[in-house]
Amino acid sequence: MKDVKEVKDVKDRRWARVDDYAVRALLKNDPALDQAREAIEKAGLPAISVSPLQGAFLHVFARATKPHAILEIGTLGGYSTIWLGRALPPDGRLVTLEAEAKYAEVARANIARAGLSDLVELRLGRALEVLPQLAAEGPEPFDLVFIDADKQNTPEYFQWALELTRPGSVIVTDNVIRDGALIDTSNEDPVVLGGRRFHELLAADRLGEQRVSATTIQTVGSKGYDGFAVALVTAD
């Protein structure tokens, strides 16, 4: 009998191969994105950027929401930033937040190579410190928010996202399933607790103030088994 680990590895390989297939079938050659992935790897940044297909999802989804302003929490090397930034009109704005100076430097170069420096504002600092500063500036509401930073603070970022959006805005949150750890109540890793607190927040919201309409989608692929949540802001 195959052990559980072996079965999992076989499945992971199949998911990755299907991702490869879909990438070849659907995604065009894209020097700026390829160079960004290479620069991220070369600089030794963690291999946790969204996958190419997930990036394309963010792009298609962003295009459909016709955003003028996008907020991203967690830049890393700017790979998702490029996919999102390309959905903006020439006078649009993308604010992206990153805590690590070294990552921000890699991201700035990648964003510049993609020709997006005029649209993208990278703010260096811990998001829980930068978000109040951003809010104090009274920015135009963000039409789309992508939450993808330290997972233990996801619920706090979601609450800030609600402050910084308008009815009709959409908030996408990455990594909310974590290999199914989400439902393992014996797992008290702050990252997993963050995912659970986040869902409790969505549930409380559903019963209470009715501020969002949300769903969680499980995903598999080259990054393994995880998922993202999509929330439509329905009321102030």
Which residues of the shown chain bind ligand SAH in the complex (CB under 6 A)?
48-50, 74-76, 79-80, 97-100, 103, 126-127, 148-150
What's the min distance (Å) between Cβ of 91 and ligand DHB?
Answer: 29
Alpha-carbon gap, residue 174 to 105, rounded angstroms: 23
Is 148 a binding residue for Mg ion by CB under 5 A? The answer is: yes
Q: Which residue is nearest to ligand DHB (CB)?
A: 48
Is 175 a binding residue for ligand DHB by CB under 6 A? The answer is: yes
Alpha-carbon gap, residue 161 to 4, rounded angstroms: 39
Given the complex with ligand DHB, which of 156 and 174 has the nearer CB atom?
174
Is 174 a binding residue for Mg ion by CB under 5 A? The answer is: yes
What's the min distance (Å) between Cβ of 125 and ligand DHB?
Answer: 18
Alpha-carbon gap, residue 126 to 69, rounded angstroms: 21
Alpha-carbon gap, residue 136 to 24, rounded angstroms: 44
Instruction: Name the amino acid, one letter, at 149.
Output: A
What's the min distance (Å) between Cβ of 16 and ligand DHB?
Answer: 14
Instruction: Name the amino acid, one letter, at 200.
Output: E
Q: Which residue is nearest to ligand SAH (CB)?
A: 74
Alpha-carbon gap, residue 228 to 148, rounded angstroms: 10
Per residue, the 3-state secondary structure of 14-69, as one string, reads HHHHHHHHHHHHHCCCCHHHHHHHHHHHHCCCCCCCCCHHHHHHHHHHHHHHCCCE
Burial (CB count <10 Å: 0-12, 13-18, 19+), residue 221: buried
Given the complex with ligand DHB, which of 99 and 211 has the nearer CB atom?
99
Is 148 a binding residue for ligand DHB by CB under 6 A? The answer is: yes
What's the min distance (Å) between Cβ of 69 and Mg ion?
Answer: 21
What's the min distance (Å) between Cβ of 79 and Mg ion?
Answer: 10
Interaction partner, residue 156 (ligand DHB, Mg ion, ligand SAH, none; CB < 5-8 Å by kind): none
Q: 3-class SS at 167?
A: strand
Is 48 a binding residue for ligand DHB by CB under 6 A? The answer is: yes
What's the min distance (Å) between Cβ of 48 and ligand DHB?
Answer: 4
Give strand pairing partners of 123: 97
Residues forming contacts to ligand DHB in the complex (CB under 6 A) are: 48, 148, 174-175
